[in-house]
Amino acid sequence: MEESLMKEKRSRDDDIGGVALAVKKDKTSASSASAAVGVGVVPKVGDKMPDCENDDMKPSSSPGIKDLSSTSNKVSVKSDTGRTEAECSMASSSSRQKQDDQLESAKAEMGEVREENQRLKMYLNRIMKDYRKLQMEFYDTVGQDSNKSPVNHQEQRAEEGGEEEIELVSLTLGRFSGDSKRDDKGKASSSSHGKEEERGNGGLSLALDYKFKASKSEVDDEPLQNPIPPSKALKTTESGGDDEVLQQNPAKKARVCIRTRCDTPTMIDGCQWRKYGQKIAKGNPCPRAYYRCTVAPSCPVRKQVQRCAQDMSILITTYEGTHNHPLPMSATAMASTTCAAASMLLSGSTSTSSHPALHGLNVYLSDNSKSKFYLPNTSLSAALSHPTITLDLTSTPSPSFPFNRFSSAFPTTSRYNTSTSLSFGSSESNSGLLTYGGSSQQQPYTKSLIGSLNINGRVPQPTIENNIYPSFMQKNHQRNPQQPLPDTIAAATKAITADPNFQSALAEALTSIIGAGKNGGGDLAQKRAFAANGNIGCGSSFFNKSPSSGGSQPGSSIFLPPHALPFSTPKNASTSPGDTGNHSY
């Protein structure tokens, strides 16, 4: 709204400039005409431009519409064309009269434009005032709610302090503009590497965005970093890191671990992976599979997939590295999220504020002092050689989480003695996939999913064959009546993330958004997502498509049947070639 107004205002300003330019143009033409006369060119009949050459008639840099008249006054004096001064004076007089007319009309026009501009300014100011007023009301509401929890209390304190971030939840599909830093250092590998990176910088990225409005420079936070310092493999392919990464985690690889409930062998994230190894890790009877990105031959990104020892239904996928190639559109969602998580991890941030893609995902950060930050359900650890951030998509946020859950799996060190967990909350859903349909068509990426998802309180359908998008808030109220969930966006976020079907629904919604516009399927997907009784359609056809039907299914998600055995990895378990993005994990 604000932006459009500014645009409009700018447009008005341009109009003003156009008028001024037109005036100058007239003057210029007059000057050139007079100059032509000066060299003996006969002016057209009826052309009342002065016959007298006059250097003063040349365009002046001054606003000087009045200059026209003033220079016209000198015409008769300086005339050297052989005409009498009287003739020259008559011509000058008529010319001056015409110019005066033009001047008057131009002045009148400018006056009108100025008035309109003033009106628009007032209108803009009024809207800005209303906007701020509403903003303050919203903050007040959030502040009241935040009193009920230490997490929100901190937010309120931040608001009151005026220096900390003030949160605005928005789930956005947007472009990341800040990959510029990532690729600066190491491009030992292919020469096209950098170009691809540059190309990718403008690509679509998709993230759950929890923006801190009114916070200085937080929106334009640092570029998404490559969380992975160079590994042995990376040394020859890419630098794998920026200075900050290297400074903070020298010789350490940052990883983003994602826990999902998933019956499929691997989490389908839209990227192409090739299995290159498998190991039985100590303490876990389930083998750990090692995958490498095969979208580009030199891509250093790896991922590890392992079942949780405690709960075999939980799939733990660990990403590391940075894609040095454009990503399939369907892979950008996961890439952005994990990239943001890694970025947060590597920036050493104990606040989510610097990583918008993680905001709104109920992230707790905790340290030894037991003080809580706003990072529930995200585990952050550097226990081993790699700082790892865990995004937990499996469970409902718990106040005691994650310390009990991850304490054994991710022992902390003195330096990174923090536990951060990020939860989408899906304790029941068995669709751990985070698959987003591919599409090459650009969409109005910056959408607020809060609005777009159209949460309307409908009862979710029991199966994915139907619209499964539930009333997250209502459902959450029913499930946890003791938990106050006030009617605020923060509460909505909490409710959304706590809902078991959120993953699927969100994935579908994002699929719809991204996939829309590429073809009919995309449009259909969008319609499914945003129409249909206000529910987010969880397009059953998408989820029922077999992965074997081809890796390139624009606008489709892939749902592997639950009977698939863990680690009986199908070929092309996660493929989605298509459009490009560029992301790091």
| Cα dihedral 93/97/100/102 (nearest 10) | -130
Task: Rule CB under 7 A: say whether 567 interacts with DNA.
Answer: yes
Least separation in angstroms between CB 210 and DNA? 30
**27 counts as binding DNA under rule CB under 7 A:** no
Q: How far apart are CA 191 and CA 171, in angstroms?
A: 36
- Tokens 């220079």 — which residue? 71
Q: Residue 233, interface with DNA (CB under 7 A)?
A: yes
Least gap, CB of 468 to DNA (angstroms)? 29
246 forms part of the interface with DNA (CB under 7 A):
no
Q: Which stretch binds DNA (CB under 7 A): 21-29, 231-239, 336-344, 534-542?
A: 231-239
Cα–Cα distance measured from residue 361 to residue 444, given in angstroms and rounded to the nearest whole number: 23
SS (H, E, C) 423-487: ECCCCCCCCCCCCCCECCCCCCCCCEHHHHCCCCCCCCCCCCCCCCCCCHHHHHHHHCCCCCCCC
580 binds DNA (CB under 7 A): no
How many amino acids of this chain bind DNA (CB under 7 A)? 28
Binding mask 90-119 for DNA (x = CB under 7 A): ------------------------------
Measured CA to CA, the distance from residue 255 to residue 265 in angstroms comes to 20
Determine the length of the chain: 585
Rule CB under 7 A: is residue 232 a binding residue for DNA? yes
Residue 81 or 572: the one with the smaller Cβ distance to DNA is 572
In the bound state with DNA, the residue whose beta carbon lies nearer, of 154 and 284, is 284
| Selected binder of DNA within 32, 231, 430, 519 (CB under 7 A) | 231
Place of tokens 């000066």: 38
Nearer to DNA, 226 or 352 (CB): 226
Q: What angle do CA 439, 443, 445 make, to 5 degrees?
A: 115
* Cα Dmax for the chain: 110
Task: Compute the least distance from the CB of residue 576 to DNA, in Å.
Answer: 13
Give me the least distance between CB of 272 and DNA, in Å please: 7
Query: What residues are paired with 255 via a beta bridge?
Result: 388
Stretch that binds DNA, among 167-175, 329-337, 432-440, 562-570 (CB under 7 A): 562-570
Determine the Cα–Cα distance for residues 162 and 180; give it in Å rounded to an integer. 30
Residue 401 CB, shortest distance to DNA, in Å, is 23
**Residue 186 CB, nearest approach to DNA (Å):** 17
Strand, helix or coil at 394?
A: coil
CB of 423 to DNA, least distance (A): 23
Residue 126: how many CB atoms within 10 A of its CB? 10
For DNA, which stretch binds (CB under 7 A), given 14-22, 66-74, 450-458, 566-574?
566-574
Which among 57-65, 163-171, 532-540, 569-577 is the span making contact with DNA, rule CB under 7 A? 569-577
Q: How far is CA 385 from CA 185, 233, 495, in A?
A: 22, 16, 35
Which residue lies nearer to DNA by CB, 389 or 498?
389
For position 46 contacting DNA by CB under 7 A, the verdict is no
- Sites for DNA among residues 386-425 (CB under 7 A): 386
Concatenate the DSSP letters of all residues of 281-348 into one string: -TT-SSEEEEEEE-SSTT---EEEEEE-SS-TTEEEEEEESB--SPPPHHHHHHHHHHHHHHHHHHTT
Task: Give me the least distance between CB of 568 and DNA, in Å please.
Answer: 6
Ranges within 254-313 binding DNA (CB under 7 A)? 274-279, 281-283, 288-290, 294, 302, 304
Measure the N-to-C terminal CA separation of the chain; round to a whole number of Å.
34
Q: Which is nearer to DNA, 117 or 572 (CB)?
A: 572
| Residues within the interface to DNA (CB under 7 A) | 231-233, 251, 274-279, 281-283, 288-290, 294, 302, 304, 384-386, 567-569, 571-573
